[in-house]
């Protein structure tokens, strides 16, 4: 006679073998001695951090992934599972007639304006901002000064307006302020994209790091498995890193997301561009080109590049990459969260479960600081 599984006998289920799922599974195994089943509907682990080495080049399959954080706890925890390749990210923007580094800084200012204008702008900036200060383009646009308005209009028009329309199909002003804050305007000469204390790429790639996190005798991983197929099984607790609206059967309507299409190309030349990411904030349909070999300084006579085309996310097609951060969507998310809070045996986390634009460090911090059930 088959015995009905009781709750106490059942395993804990983690839905999603991305970074959030891997961290929570490891903690359950190590800290609670819990037997954990991790499932993912994809055929590989890693979620959007998934990378794979092809002919000597580590390809970031779901867009450029650069680890950067000021969070000592996150850095120390991940360092148990990987050695790091030191890497300081640089991003260039291809404007109509020149290539500048982002974030827009004093070097870019000197490239984009005539010398007399530069002198005047720098003098005016000094009256308003401290050296090294960062402001969002939206804050810069608020300053009632004709000289700074000219600067702000230029940066807005050439760097942010069209890129944001392509990426989000709306203006920067219509998104949560945190989106504009990701790429500030900086009054210094540092040509690096991030200012964080720790910046690096896992030396063997993200997939290898996540594989190590999942490598514990109490953790079992099953791929090509959708939560739908296990929905009726009893688990002691479920940690769900998939989309919260999907879990809630879209009872309040779908949460809006943006998707991407990645178009890969192998080129018979050593390098295509000087840095790993070049943004195209103006006319082109794509937003950026990634050249993968720069991440781990891999040497090959050929190269692989990827063009990133923003797309609408349509249910049943493509992947959810970006939760669209605005007030209406946050309210809709909170409706799902509050509605599902009555399910005592499920915890949501991750970029999709929390409907948050988490960078990797924030996703890890969330999984590390979650109280285990
Ligand atoms: P995910 O990686 O999305 O993993 C969720 C997993 O759950 C997926 O594998 C999915 O298949 C699985 N899943 C979902 N639903 C189900 C279901 N019903 N059944 C089974 N499995 C399911 N962060 C940085 O710090 N630096 C960067 O440079 C950076 N670049 C990025 C570039 C792009 C284009 C994108 C999209 C993100 C980038 N990020 C970056 C963010 C980073 O990808 C996320 O922080 C991280 O992947 C979050 O991990 P996660 O596990 O929460 O989600
Ligand atoms: N952004 C822009 N132009 C750029 C770079 C960024 O307008 O050249 C805006 C755009 O709205 C983008 C947001 O800033 O979505 C955040 O940029 P980030 O590079 O952090 O995007 P991610 O790497 O998360 O896709």
**Domain range summary for the chain, segments of one domain joined by +:** 6-87+200-254+324-369, 103-186
Beta carbon of 163 within 6 Å of any ligand 2 atom = yes
Cα of 37 from ligand 2 centre, angstroms: 36
Q: How many CB atoms within 10 Å of residue 99?
A: 14
Sequence-distant (≥ 6) Cβ neighbours of residue 354 within 8 angstroms:
244, 348, 366
Beta carbon of 13 within 6 Å of any ligand 2 atom = no
**Mutate which of 196, 325, 351, 370 for ligand 1 pocket (most atoms within 8 A of beta carbon):** 351
- For CA atoms 211, 216, 220, 226, give the dihedral sign: negative
Distance from C-alpha of 309 to C-alpha of 286, rounded to nearest angstrom: 4
Cα of 276 from ligand 2 centre, angstroms: 15
Closest C-alpha residue for ligand 2 atom 12: 164
Question: Tens-of-pLDDT digits for all 373 residues of the chain?
Answer: 344 444 545 699 999 999 999 999 999 999 999 999 999 999 999 999 999 999 999 999 999 999 999 999 999 999 999 999 999 999 999 999 899 999 999 999 999 999 999 999 999 999 999 999 999 999 999 999 999 999 999 999 999 999 999 999 999 999 999 999 999 999 999 999 999 999 999 999 999 999 999 999 999 999 999 999 999 999 999 999 999 999 999 999 999 999 999 999 999 999 999 999 999 999 899 999 999 999 999 999 999 999 999 999 999 899 999 999 999 999 999 999 999 999 889 999 999 999 999 999 999 999 999 999 9
Ligand number nearest to the C-alpha of 360? 1
Place of tokens 């000087």: 274
From the list 129, 74, 78, the residue with the least C-alpha distance to 105 is 129
CB 344 within 8 A of CB 253: no
Cα of 323 from ligand 2 centre, angstroms: 14
Distances, alpha carbon 314 to alpha carbons 214, 222, 318, in Å? 31, 27, 7
Q: What is the tens place of the pLDDT at every residue in 314-352? A: 998 999 999 999 999 999 999 999 999 998 899 999 999
pLDDT at 10: 66
- Paired residues of 258 in beta bridges: 312, 322
Closest C-alpha residue for ligand 1 atom 33: 63
- For CA atoms 164, 62, 358, 225, give the dihedral sign: positive
Distance from C-alpha of 197 to C-alpha of 337, rounded to nearest angstrom: 33
Alpha helices by DSSP H, listed for 58-114, are 72-78, 106-112
Cα of 85 from ligand 2 centre, angstroms: 24
Beta carbon of 66 within 6 Å of any ligand 1 atom = yes
Topology classification of domain 6-87+200-254+324-369: Rossmann fold (3.40.50)
Q: Is 193 helix (H, G, I), strand (E, B) or coil?
A: coil
From the list 243, 197, 215, 179, the residue with the least C-alpha distance to 74 is 197
Cα of 167 from ligand 2 centre, angstroms: 8
Q: What is the tens place of the pLDDT at every residue in 56-78? A: 999 999 999 999 999 999 999 99
Cα of 125 from ligand 2 centre, angstroms: 24
- For CA atoms 200, 201, 204, 208, give the dihedral sign: positive
Helix (H) or strand (E) holding 217: none
pLDDT at 283: 80
Beta carbon of 321 within 6 Å of any ligand 1 atom = yes
Task: Give the pairing of strands 219-222 and 322-323.
Answer: unpaired
Task: Give the pairing of strands 99-102 and 36-39.
Answer: unpaired
CB 300 within 8 A of CB 55: yes
Does this model's pTM top 0.85? My answer is yes
Cα of 269 from ligand 1 centre, angstroms: 31
* 10's tokens: 């059942």
Distance from C-alpha of 49 to C-alpha of 40, rounded to nearest angstrom: 14
């Amino acid at each position: 006679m088959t015995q009905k599984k009781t709750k106490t006998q059942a395993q804990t289920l983690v839905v999603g073998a991305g970074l959030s799922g891997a961290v929570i599974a490891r903690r359950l195994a190590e800290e609670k001695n819990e037997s954990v089943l991790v499932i993912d509907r994809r055929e590989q682990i890693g979620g959007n951090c998934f990378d794979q080495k092809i002919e000597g080049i580590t390809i970031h399959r779901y867009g450029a992934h650069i680890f950067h954080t000021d969070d000592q706890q996150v850095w120390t925890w991940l360092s148990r599972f990987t050695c790091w390749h030191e890497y300081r990210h640089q991003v260039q923007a291809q404007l109509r007639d020149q290539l500048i580094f982002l974030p827009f800084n004093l070097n870019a200012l000197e490239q984009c304006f005539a010398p007399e204008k530069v002198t005047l702008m720098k003098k005016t900036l000094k009256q308003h901002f401290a050296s090294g200060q960062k402001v969002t383009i939206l804050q810069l646009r608020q300053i009632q000064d004709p000289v700074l308005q000219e600067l702000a209009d230029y940066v807005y028009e050439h760097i942010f307006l069209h890129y944001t329309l392509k990426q989000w199909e709306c203006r920067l002003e219509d998104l949560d302020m945190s989106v504009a804050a990701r790429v500030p305007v900086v009054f210094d000469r540092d040509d690096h994209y991030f200012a964080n204390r720790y910046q690096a790429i896992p030396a063997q790639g993200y997939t290898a790091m996540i594989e190590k996190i999942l490598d514990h005798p109490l953790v079992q991983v099953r791929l090509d498995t959708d939560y739908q197929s296990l929905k009726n099984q009893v688990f002691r607790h479920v940690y769900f890193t998939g989309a919260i609206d999907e879990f809630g059967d879209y009872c309040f309507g779908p949460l809006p997301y943006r998707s991407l299409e990645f178009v890969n190309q192998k080129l018979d030349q050593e390098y295509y561009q000087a840095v790993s990411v070049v943004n195209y904030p103006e006319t082109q349909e794509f937003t950026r080109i990634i050249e993968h070999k720069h991440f781990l300084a891999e040497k090959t006579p050929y190269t692989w590049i990827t063009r990133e085309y923003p797309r609408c996310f349509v249910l049943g097609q493509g992947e959810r990459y970006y939760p669209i951060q605005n007030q209406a969507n946050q309210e809709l998310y909170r409706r799902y969260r509050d509605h599902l809070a009555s399910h005592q045996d499920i915890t949501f986390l991750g970029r999709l479960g929390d409907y948050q634009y988490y960078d990797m460090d924030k996703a890890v911090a969330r999984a590390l600081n979650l109280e285990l059930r």
